Structure 1
Amino acid sequence: MAALPAVTSFVVWDYVVFALMLLVSTAIGIYFALTGKDQHSSNDFLMGGRSMSALPVAMSLTAGFMSAITVLATPSEVYRYGAIYGLYGISYVPVVVVSSEVFLPVFYRLGITSTYEYLELRFNRTIRLCGTVMFIAQTVLYTGIVIYAPALALNQVTGFHLWGAVISTGVVCTFYCTMGGLKAVVWTDVFQVGIMVAGFLAVIFRSMVLQGGFSVIINDSARGGRLNFWDFDLSPLRRHTFWTITFGGAFVWIGVYGVNQVQVQRYISCKSLAHAKMSLYVNMVGLWVVLICAVFCGLCLYSIYQHCDPWTAGRVSAPDQLMPYLVLDILSAYPGLPGLFVAAAYSGTLSTVSSSINGLAAVTVEDLIKPYFSMSEKKLSWMSKGLSLLYGVVCIGMAGLASTMGGLIQAVVSIFGIIGGPLLGIFTLGILCPFANSTGGVAGLFSGLALALWVGIGAQVYPPLPENSRPLSLTTAGCNFSLTGDGLNLTMGSTALPLTTTAFHKDTAYRPFLADRWYSLSYLYFSPIGTLTVLTVGLIVSLLTGGKKLELDPGLMLMREDLTCYHIYNLFKKKALKRGKLHLDKNGESNLEIKNPAFANFEMELTEDCSAQIQCPKSDLSHRTTEVP
């Protein structure tokens, strides 16, 4: 019979490792605050001088949305529902390709700071403001969750006060974000993603030693049904299948990497379009590495506790505390390693929260202050710093709401789906549909948001029954431990307790008709619902309200010269023509190395085939969309 350990606290070396991570993160912020030139304007503070290289930006993109959600919640997700979660690795391919080939070139060409500036250029100011408000709401909610998650870990493994951990998390990342701007955010992300991977590897290597190797863990997981990759059930009500993760997950993460301000702000700060595109492709490799580590940690968790589940045995109060519990169980004999793991969770939070704060400050300055108030660059720089501080306080407050939202993975993806799906739809409508007008855009955006909110809120009120979520069985049959309370000692050795008897079960007699149909839709489909509704309604309304008469500047749309495959084709064509001793004019040249267009002061002049890619100043972009009477 297995004996579950009691939760212990940190030793001195754990605190040393943890403190070093905080000190290095803070030092990076102070360094960039003291280097001087990057603080003179709001553009430098928020965009890092638009001079970043591909590699640090790629690592920052990886860290930005991996966070403590990945460190804590992904392994427990695999432990409870199986390694099918690893199929996200497939969805990352279309996410990166679509983001780099469809959205990035347009944003980069326009030289914008806030992605929602595009919505005014393409549609009107109303849609821009709606997009800004939706982004702020989404990001504040998400950031509250990722502040709360590592606080749970600290509370579980050290006994440190839960809300003390929440406040300290927010204060540290708000400090270095406010001091150092985007450059501090990116370079702390580079450091912190390394800490995250190191924390995973410490757990993986120790688990393999304890269990007898990689093959033992895989065999245990197979016997426990955790290697459930190939579930091709077409039912949209099933929580996780091949289709929900690869199709629905792709929509969710395209909404994050393609149009979300926090991520877009990073790669459009690169010094050239080639660096910006490269950062996304290198980021994909980083995402795979982190995903593989997180999924395998979940399999290690199952292999070690397959006969004695700490959650159903009452040793932890929530599934998201399983990883910290495992760390104390298997690493407590190695002073410093538990501290490394909690530093990994904390690093994920710092990277995500600081990025979110920087993005929130950027859209507030660009979308809510600059269009309505005339300020000098120096005042805007101080305003950006003040907003960073303000949003840090707001996000700490939102952590209180996060404590009521249940499982972290589902809560986060639901937020991105409900709000991010309609936003992805309106950007796609603008970039790919030349006859979509502002009337169609408004109708589509509100329709998509209403439908996504309906299904999302309904799913919170009436969670899906276990036959749709299908958690895998856990057991305490192998446990042998005592629970002591008020002098009463109880020895437990129970039989299997399948998770289907716990969690979200409700008496079906009290569930309305839509509860087990519409509201039970997989949470990964919230984003496609919002996106496709915006596109469908937007196109129909645009056609009915004269969209075909719309005249657009081609620079607001995706052009063939934006595609990497077009430049590859031209490269081969150029070589072929050279072999034939023919001259190729400049329109066949690749322009992927064009410098950041935010610095351009001349107008775009497009040839008949739209081959020139020259930037207009933003002051000339206020009336780029006109309708022919």
Structure 2
Amino acid sequence: MAGGGGAVATFSVWDYVVFAGMILGAAGIGLFQAIRGRKENSTAEFLLGGRQMTAVPVAMSLTASFMSGITVIGTPAEAYIYGTSFWLFAFSYAIMSTISAEIFVPLFYRLGITSTYEYLELRFSKVVRVVGTTMYIVQTALYTGMVIYAPALALNQITGLDLWGVLVATGIVCIIYCTLGGLKAVIWTDVFQMVIMLAGFLSVIIRGSVLQGGIGKIWEDNQKGGRLDSFSFDPDPLRRHSFWTIVVGGSLMWVSMYAINQSQVQRYISCKTMTHAKMSLYVNLLGLWTTVSLAMLCGLTMYSIYKDCDPLNNKDVASSDQLLPYLVMDILAEYPGLPGLFVAAAYSGTLSTVSSSINALVAVTVEDFVRPLWPNLSQKQASWINMGMSVFFGALCISMAAIASMMGSILQAALSIFGMISGPLLGLFLMGMFFHCANSTGGLVGLLSGLVLTLWVGIGAQVYPPLLTKTRPLPLSVAGCDSQDINLTTTLAAWTSAALPTSVPSVRPALADSWYSLSYLYFCPLGMLVTMVIGLIVSAISGGCKQEKIPPELFVRKEDLICFGCRKKHTMNSDTDLIEKVGPDSLYGMDNPYFTETDLKQKKDDNITVC
């Protein structure tokens, strides 16, 4: 039946067994980590894995954290509809890994922070920190809800799995191993889920190659279909995907995800040395390259199979996010358990993202809101709060998924949320790290200005979707379908798993075809630049150049950028200015709940590579 259109098989008993086994395996890892670490029930152990993690598992966790179910299902659909331009993100990943490892890791690792936004208070003020943390919480809760809902909806419509049963099961499993096992459970579960994701991709590619007569035939079919000629060097910022939007805009968007996003920073800060922290980002680069390549090959395989009978135009599926599940049930159903493996792959992506988000949300909430209110919490009280917050944020993410089910058009908005919110935050961090004249007033005004501007363009793009004049879907045929009752004018201008609304407002303002049509990949650079420019101007006007001396530890050092191969000892004694700046509750101070007297002595004796 492959390639001919029509209904496909549904899940078998063995598929359910494989899928359930994956969920139980993930929960089991959380229980194992909880039992293993029951004698080390401290906040540092729960949120940072005791700062004893190594590069490879952290790297796999970094990769899995943003390889969500949306990525597993949506990236192949992107290749099927638009071709291989998405592969250019390989350049973005390389740029992102280098910037994050060589600029941000040395700074954050030196400071020994738990919440990324602690830096904003050290560099600017408490108000700036609270605003930054609030933006992060809203962004992460919204995005995580969409991550839960989007693949659940697609798989429900294709496989028959109960939508709300899977949604609740996903949340409960994440709550279990986040609550009981902390960051170690999240990281080691991510490793397990990363393997499952790659296995799911490989099963589709291998079976598709057998059906089509090899990878060479698949490549040939895509070349004839124009899928391999989709690279564009058009500098037009309104073009959805081009070399410039992906390499420039995409690189900065991914920097905002890895360099300052709590769920990622929390991972490499958990490494036992700075060398491991940096290496985790470079090994993660290999993971990202592998994942995006396999996802794109899945899309090319799907086109080779359906080149003469597009399931979307043939109304076999309702939207682009159902294409890959449809293919899986079409070509793998005769092998009991393999469709279950793919569903496990999609949900592995979802579980890894959700668990990472819950753990990060707990970290920033406890650090930025709970600790300042109750600074004298005991370790036992802090541990109970950590677990309680894990349950709360798990329930919140499930609730956001429920809201998403009633707001179909918000799905695409959620996929651009990182650009709209992380862009201004990235600008704020860069301003603080590189410009001595930047002050609290300038930072706050710049941040809010950048946020307002990116929300304006981002929300406007959802209300008035860009017309298909700059980026059109590549041709799809239905000539070989068994049924000719088809719709030849379907709209497919979606990013990953979300399709554009089927209708657009009849009255479009003047900005709709210019400002609101800006590529979503430029939301982050726009927010970053506006934040920095306005922030520096306001800082200069409000006396930023005359402010008191700022500890040098809060800035990126020249050695971090230009020193390769040298080793330099960094000890606690060199942080006197920083301790004086922030008082006895300094990150390195004796009153800090994350550092015991033994920890402080060990830090003084440690030789940490800072360049």
Tell me if TM exceeds 0.5. Answer: yes
Aligned to 1:451: 453
Quote the Cα distance in structure 2 between the aligned partners of 1:251 and 1:620.
Answer: 37
- 1:136-161 CA-to-partner distances (Å, cap 9, x unmatched) read 00100110111113312431343122
For the residue of structure 2 that corresponds to 1:552, the secondary structure is: coil
AA aligned opposite 1:161: D
Aligned to 2:581: none
Aligned to 1:484: none
Alignment partner of 1:552 out of 550, 553, 565: 550
Determine if contact 1:105/1:562 at 8 Å carries over to the other structure: yes
Determine if contact 2:309/2:478 at 8 Å carries over to the other structure: yes
Determine if contact 1:63/1:189 at 8 Å carries over to the other structure: yes
Assess, with a 3 A threshold, how the Cα gap between structure 1 residues 59 and 206 changes in structure 2: closer, same or farther.
same
Taking structure 1 as the reference length, what is the TM-score of the superposition?
A: 0.88
Determine if contact 2:65/2:352 at 8 Å carries over to the other structure: yes
Assess, with a 3 A threshold, how the Cα gap between structure 1 residues 269 and 70 changes in structure 2: closer, same or farther.
same
Alignment partner of 1:604 out of 559, 575, 580: 575
Assess, with a 3 A threshold, how the Cα gap between structure 1 residues 439 and 522 changes in structure 2: closer, same or farther.
same
For the residue of structure 1 that corresponds to 2:9, the secondary structure is: coil
- Aligned residue runs from structure 1 range 193-232, under 5 A: 193-232=194-233
- 1:442-499 CA-to-partner distances (Å, cap 9, x unmatched) read 1100000000000001001000001133222223222113xxxxxxxxxx26595574
| Greater CA drift, 77-86 or 52-61 | 77-86
AA aligned opposite 2:8: V
Aligned to 1:419: 421
Assess, with a 3 A threshold, how the Cα gap between structure 1 residues 527 and 413 changes in structure 2: closer, same or farther.
farther
Determine if contact 2:464/2:504 at 8 Å carries over to the other structure: no
- Displacement of 1:38 in angstroms is 6.3
Alignment partner of 1:520 out of 517, 521, 533: 517
Alignment partner of 1:394 out of 396, 409, 414: 396
Assess, with a 3 A threshold, how the Cα gap between structure 1 residues 618 and 510 changes in structure 2: closer, same or farther.
farther
For the residue of structure 2 that corresponds to 1:472, the secondary structure is: coil
Alignment partner of 2:442 out of 440, 443, 451: 440
Assess, with a 3 A threshold, how the Cα gap between structure 1 residues 323 and 185 changes in structure 2: closer, same or farther.
same
Determine if contact 2:302/2:324 at 8 Å carries over to the other structure: yes
Q: Verify: 1:70 aligned to 2:67, yes or no.
A: no
Assess, with a 3 A threshold, how the Cα gap between structure 1 residues 601 and 252 changes in structure 2: closer, same or farther.
same
Determine if contact 1:468/1:520 at 8 Å carries over to the other structure: no
Percent of matched pairs sharing the same residue: 56
AA aligned opposite 1:617: Y
Q: Verify: 1:537 aligned to 2:534, yes or no.
A: yes
Determine if contact 1:480/1:493 at 8 Å carries over to the other structure: no
Aligned to 1:191: 192
Determine if contact 1:69/1:408 at 8 Å carries over to the other structure: no
Determine if contact 1:132/1:367 at 8 Å carries over to the other structure: yes
Aligned to 1:159: 160
AA aligned opposite 2:554: L
Determine if contact 1:82/1:228 at 8 Å carries over to the other structure: yes
Aligned to 1:578: none
Quote the Cα distance in structure 2 between the aligned partners of 1:86 and 1:411.
Answer: 22
Quote the Cα distance in structure 2 between the aligned partners of 1:195 and 1:408.
Answer: 29
For the residue of structure 2 that corresponds to 1:475, the secondary structure is: coil
Quote the Cα distance in structure 1 between the aligned partners of 2:89 and 2:106.
Answer: 25
Alignment partner of 1:562 out of 540, 560, 574: 560
Quote the Cα distance in structure 1 between the aligned partners of 2:116 and 2:422.
Answer: 13
- Displacement of 1:308 in angstroms is 0.9
Assess, with a 3 A threshold, how the Cα gap between structure 1 residues 156 and 81 changes in structure 2: closer, same or farther.
same
AA aligned opposite 1:604: D
Q: Which runs of 4+ in 1 moved over 4 A?
A: 404-410, 493-509, 600-603, 618-621
For the residue of structure 2 that corresponds to 1:16, the secondary structure is: helix
- Displacement of 1:567 in angstroms is 3.4
Q: Which runs of 5+ in 1 are unaligned?
A: 482-491, 571-588, 595-599, 607-614, 622-629
- The alignment yields a C-alpha RMSD, in angstroms, of 2.2
Determine if contact 1:28/1:187 at 8 Å carries over to the other structure: yes
For the residue of structure 1 that corresponds to 2:152, the secondary structure is: helix
Quote the Cα distance in structure 1 between the aligned partners of 2:208 and 2:96.
Answer: 32
- 1:281-320 CA-to-partner distances (Å, cap 9, x unmatched) read 0000000000000011111111111111111211112210
Aligned to 1:86: 87
Assess, with a 3 A threshold, how the Cα gap between structure 1 residues 37 and 9 changes in structure 2: closer, same or farther.
same
Quote the Cα distance in structure 2 between the aligned partners of 1:414 and 1:254.
Answer: 15
Assess, with a 3 A threshold, how the Cα gap between structure 1 residues 357 and 427 changes in structure 2: closer, same or farther.
same
Alignment partner of 1:475 out of 470, 474, 477: 477
Aligned to 1:617: 588
- Aligned residue runs from structure 1 range 327-476, under 5 A: 327-373=328-374, 374-403=376-405, 410-476=412-478
- 1:80-106 CA-to-partner distances (Å, cap 9, x unmatched) read 111101100011111011111111111
Quote the Cα distance in structure 2 between the aligned partners of 1:515 and 1:420.
Answer: 24
- 1:560-597 CA-to-partner distances (Å, cap 9, x unmatched) read 2334x4032x4xxxxxxxxxxxxxxxxxx444xx6xxx
AA aligned opposite 1:394: L
Structure exhibiting the larger radius of gyration computed from Cα positions? 1
Taking structure 2 as the reference length, what is the TM-score of the superposition?
A: 0.90
Aligned to 1:576: none
| Greater CA drift, 546-555 or 201-210 | 546-555
Quote the Cα distance in structure 1 between the aligned partners of 2:449 and 2:39.
Answer: 42
Quote the Cα distance in structure 2 between the aligned partners of 1:405 and 1:255.
Answer: 26
AA aligned opposite 1:472: L
- Displacement of 1:620 in angstroms is 9.6
Determine if contact 1:357/1:388 at 8 Å carries over to the other structure: yes
AA aligned opposite 1:544: I
Assess, with a 3 A threshold, how the Cα gap between structure 1 residues 516 and 259 changes in structure 2: closer, same or farther.
same
Q: Which runs of 5+ in 2 are unaligned?
A: 494-498, 578-585, 593-611
Quote the Cα distance in structure 1 between the aligned partners of 2:284 and 2:230.
Answer: 24
AA aligned opposite 2:187: V
Give the count of matched residue pairs.
576
- Displacement of 1:77 in angstroms is 1.3
Determine if contact 1:602/1:617 at 8 Å carries over to the other structure: no
Aligned to 2:249: 248
Quote the Cα distance in structure 1 between the aligned partners of 2:492 and 2:331.
Answer: 28
Q: Verify: 1:124 aligned to 2:122, yes or no.
A: no
Determine if contact 1:465/1:504 at 8 Å carries over to the other structure: no
For the residue of structure 1 that corresponds to 2:476, the secondary structure is: strand
Assess, with a 3 A threshold, how the Cα gap between structure 1 residues 367 and 248 changes in structure 2: closer, same or farther.
same
Assess, with a 3 A threshold, how the Cα gap between structure 1 residues 291 and 302 changes in structure 2: closer, same or farther.
same
Determine if contact 1:95/1:257 at 8 Å carries over to the other structure: yes
Assess, with a 3 A threshold, how the Cα gap between structure 1 residues 134 and 199 changes in structure 2: closer, same or farther.
same
Quote the Cα distance in structure 2 between the aligned partners of 1:8 and 1:69.
Answer: 23
